[in-house]
Amino acid sequence: MSTSAAGERSNPADKAYRWVDDRLAISRGGRHLLNKIFPDHWSFMLGEIALYSFIVLLLTGIFLTLYFVPSETTVIYHGAYKPIDGQRISEAYASTLNLSFAVRAGLLMRQMHHWAANIFVGSIVVHLLRVFFTGGFRKPREINWIIGANLLILAIFNGFLGYSLPDDLVSGTGIRIAFSILESVPFVGSQLAFLLFGGNFPGTAIIPRFFIIHVLILPLVILGLLGAHLGMLIRHKHTQFRQAHAREDNVVGTPLWPTFAMKTGGFFFLTTAVTVLLGALVQINPIWQYGQYYPYKVSYAVQPDWYMGFLDGALRVMPAWELHLPGHMIPNVFFPAILLPGITFTLLMLYPFIEAKLTGDVAEHHLLDRPRDRPVRTAFGVATFAFYFVLFGASATDVLANYLSLTLNFVLWAFRIMAIVVPFIVFAVTYKLCKELQQTPSAGKRQQFNLILRSADGGYTTVPAEQYPGYDQPELAPVDVEKVELTADAAQQDGDEGVYEIPRRYR
């Protein structure tokens, strides 16, 4: 053994590593982890933003639990917020005021928590759209698609529970509507609502119960699903876009250590920075302006957080129908608030299977589609999104009517019509656009620069510039996607050094 190697071994970090490795065999799987390849494409960052904003939620949330009191017991307020000095308010509301005005950095943490929640849900949605439009949900990733959809649902629920906690007038109205929605479920709705609320509205237990669901139960479930989501990501390895060297049977990119680790660490701090700056500069949920919730008071600017907007809009555009059966009824709110999201999320989760059924494509796919190459899927996705966007807009009918000086009636009918018509128009336009883009193969690609060289005798020549050192061919010309077939049996036959090569057939 050379002296330098012996010298290295006596270094304390090296010693510690060896001590742990002898007991846990880190180097066995660890090398593969260090060398895990991450494809370089900005769109892979969207999921990371979701993950990092969840971490921000956990950290700021823990801070909030130290001061927030989940109780509806009324107290006479003598705190830092003077305008309501001496009034009877609930401990939940009082402690949120306390967090905002008396606890140092408390307002910052509250606003960061609320902003992080909005970023969390938003980045999940955008991440989902990326996976949808590139076909990242296809075999073998259907299970992870379903887990992702459930994460979205849980994030929305937990956000709703969270902003219901401070017991202010706006959120209380939201809870009242939530009770009515639960009550509208056929057969078991009333029972469900009474059990959850501990009686008829407002019940006896709603803030403490929402609290424990919000800070413990749902975060645990989300954490578990996130673990499964990321575990499957490692098991499946990343998908990748078609570019130089990328094939169905490999992943091309930069390794976890050190390039990706450093970059993604940077993104964590940047996500945090954005939440902190929003928390500093943009006021969110100023509950002291809304006042304490009383069941008989109502605020006129009841606007839920944006991710509940489509539900609020659906409640508004739904015609005043309800279904009367002998001795029973299905109330109006059931259709927009239970049936619609129920169908939406069921279809969302089933989509990979529906598409596989319709296309007959049951092969594994690790190369992503460009949206234009799948015009029907792309058009369908954009049209569905447009529908929800219209519903989201419909949650502001009253604001729009005021602002545009139109009658509420006109605005409401406009949204009812748009909710039906816009998706069809959007479908047609998107489909056409995809087809057009297919005809222009260079559209949306990085420009390749030309170097114009002048020779000594005055002649000019043009050479294409190398644009990314090492990438001789930044993007390959599109190949026909369906024609690549993987067969597991064949792969077994030739294995050199434990690496399976996959025979490929081009038809």
Partner 1 sequence: MPDLPPHNGQVPRLNDEGRVPLDAPQFQIAAHNPRRVEVAVAAFFLLSLAGFAGFGAAYWQGASNLWLGMTLGVGFAGFGLAMASWGKWLMPRGPFEEPRAPMATTEAEKELFIADFASRGKVAIARRHALAKLMGLAGGVLGVVVAFPLIRSLGPLPGNTQYRTKWRKGSFLTTIDGRRVTVNDLEVGGVLTVFPPDDLGGAISQTLLLHVQASGNVVTMQGRETWGPNGYVAFSKVCTHAGCPVGLYEELTQQLLCPCHQSLFDIYTGAMPVFGPAPRPLPQLALYIDKSGHIRAQHGYTEPVGPGFWSRGAAPFARYRGK
Q: Which of residues 349-388 bind partner 1 (CB under 8 A)?
A: 364, 366
The rounded distance, in Å, linking the Cα atoms of 216 and 372 is 43
332 touches 318 (CB < 8 A): yes
Structure tokens at 436: 């057009």
Minimum Å distance from CB 377 to partner 1? Answer: 22
The rounded distance, in Å, linking the Cα atoms of 245 and 234 is 21
345 binds partner 1 (CB under 8 A): no
Q: Which of residues 84-113 bind ligand HEM (CB under 6 A)?
A: 96, 99, 110, 113
275 touches 119 (CB < 8 A): yes
65 binds ligand HEM (CB under 6 A): yes
Phi, psi (rounded to 5 degrees) for 89: -135, 170
State which residue, 20 or 408, has the beta carbon closest to partner 1: 408
| Residue span 139-168 as binding mask against partner 1, x where in contact by CB under 8 A, dash where not | xx----------------------------
State which residue, 121 or 311, has the beta carbon closest to partner 1: 311
The rounded distance, in Å, linking the Cα atoms of 47 and 226 is 11
State which residue, 19 or 321, has the beta carbon closest to partner 1: 321
205 binds partner 1 (CB under 8 A): yes
Which part of the chain contacts ligand HEM (CB under 6 A), choosing from 79-87, 114-122, 133-141, 375-383? 114-122
**Which residues lie across from 38 on neighbouring strands?**
254
| Residue span 181-210 as binding mask against ligand HEM, x where in contact by CB under 6 A, dash where not | ------------------------------
* Cα–Cα separations (whole angstroms), residue 103 to 66, 67, 100: 11, 8, 7
441 binds partner 1 (CB under 8 A): no
By CB under 8 A, name the one of 11, 27, 65, 191 that touches partner 1: 191
Phi, psi (rounded to 5 degrees) for 454: -110, 130
Phi, psi (rounded to 5 degrees) for 444: 80, 10
- Residue 386 binding partner per list partner 1, ligand HEM, none, with a CB distance cut-off of 5 to 8 Å that depends on partner kind: none
Minimum Å distance from CB 78 to ligand HEM? Answer: 20
State which residue, 183 or 305, has the beta carbon closest to ligand HEM: 305
Torsion of CA 142, 143, 144, 149, to 10 degrees: 90
Q: Exposed, middle or buried: residue 116 (CB in 10 Å: 0-12, 13-18, 19+)?
A: buried
Q: Exposed, middle or buried: residue 286 (CB in 10 Å: 0-12, 13-18, 19+)?
A: exposed
The rounded distance, in Å, linking the Cα atoms of 405 and 393 is 17
120 binds ligand HEM (CB under 6 A): yes
State which residue, 290 or 427, has the beta carbon closest to partner 1: 290
466 binds partner 1 (CB under 8 A): no
399 binds partner 1 (CB under 8 A): no
The rounded distance, in Å, linking the Cα atoms of 495 and 498 is 6
By CB under 8 A, name the one of 19, 306, 321, 424 that touches partner 1: 321
The rounded distance, in Å, linking the Cα atoms of 267 and 270 is 5
The rounded distance, in Å, linking the Cα atoms of 169 and 89 is 12
277 binds partner 1 (CB under 8 A): yes
Minimum Å distance from CB 168 to partner 1? Answer: 15
424 binds partner 1 (CB under 8 A): no
61 binds partner 1 (CB under 8 A): no
Minimum Å distance from CB 90 to partner 1? Answer: 13
Torsion of CA 479, 480, 482, 488, to 10 degrees: -40
222 binds ligand HEM (CB under 6 A): yes
By CB under 8 A, name the one of 276, 382, 391, 418 that touches partner 1: 276
**Which residues lie across from 330 on neighbouring strands?**
323
Peptide bond into 140 cis (omega under 30): yes
Structure tokens at 125: 């949605």
By CB under 6 A, name the one of 30, 79, 219, 503 that touches ligand HEM: 219
By CB under 6 A, name the one of 144, 150, 158, 184 that touches ligand HEM: 158
Closest CA to 310 of 382, 219, 384, 381: 384
165 touches 130 (CB < 8 A): no
- Residue 409 binding partner per list partner 1, ligand HEM, none, with a CB distance cut-off of 5 to 8 Å that depends on partner kind: partner 1
| Residue span 269-308 as binding mask against ligand HEM, x where in contact by CB under 6 A, dash where not | ----------------x-----------------------
247 binds partner 1 (CB under 8 A): yes
Footprint of ligand HEM (CB under 6 A) = 57-58, 61-62, 64-65, 68, 96, 99, 110, 113-114, 117, 120, 155, 158-159, 162-163, 165-166, 214-215, 219, 222, 285
